[in-house]
Amino acid sequence: MMKLNLTQKERTLLEDQKSHEQICIEKYTSYANLTQDPELSQLFNTYANQERQHLNTINQMLSGTVPNMQQQGGQQNQQQMQSGGGQVFQTKKSDADLCTDLLMTEKYVSGTYDTAIFEFIDTNARQALNHIQKEEQQHGEGIFNYMQNHGMYNPK
């Protein structure tokens, strides 16, 4: 861990990211219990746990330290979702709505990390935020793939 002296702007950006991470944790945890598909529930729970790691990183940065991102496991597990048995259930719309909301959330959160990264002076802090942003993008990709494989999203 390295010492981090935050500017007021950096502190404000981290506080924003902290609230975004808290919302992501709440959404993924709540939606994991609402979904009808156990596979989707597992995906949401996995992402909720990663969001908790992001929140921990942000809190460490707010307390003045930059965690070593190489010690945090590198690439996270990417789950490739396969299409189910072709049955269309009435609850699928509900799962599609949950996925759409979380995909929209991930797009927004990733963009706010992009802005924060460019505003940080410390290279290690930028790398920590970039690591989180990359995982946010992987969450979006996982949701996108799930939706596409289950007929919920057609990018054409």
Give a yes or no: residue 84 inside a domain. Answer: no
Give a yes or no: residue 128 inside a domain. Answer: yes
Domain count, the chain: 1
Taking 80 as the threshold, does the pLDDT of residue 146 lie above it?
A: yes
Q: How many CB atoms lie within 10 A of CB 64?
A: 12
**Predicted confidence (pLDDT) per residue in 66-108, tens digit:** 887 765 544 333 333 333 333 333 344 589 999 999 999 999 9
Give the CA angle between residues 127, 5, 128 to the nearest 5°: 15
Rounded to the nearest 10 degrees, the angle between the axes of helix 123-149 and helix 92-119 is 160
**Predicted confidence (pLDDT) per residue in 101-127, tens digit:** 999 999 999 999 999 999 999 999 999
Neighbouring residues of 36: CB distance < 8 A, sequence distance ≥ 6: 89, 91, 92, 94, 95
Give a yes or no: residue 133 inside a domain. Answer: yes
Residues 146 and 38: their CA atoms lie apart, in Å, by: 12
Put simply, whether the predicted model's pTM sits higher than 0.85 gets the answer no
Best CA proximity match to 139, nearest among 99, 83, 97, 112: 99
DSSP 72: G
CATH number of the domain residue 30 falls in: 1.20.1260.10
Taking 80 as the threshold, does the pLDDT of residue 136 lie above it?
A: yes
Residues 48 and 50: their CA atoms lie apart, in Å, by: 5
Residues 35 and 91: their CA atoms lie apart, in Å, by: 8
What range defines the domain where residue 113 resides? Answer: 9-60+93-149
Give a yes or no: residue 155 inside a domain. Answer: no
Give a yes or no: residue 88 inside a domain. Answer: no
Supply the pLDDT for residue 94. 82
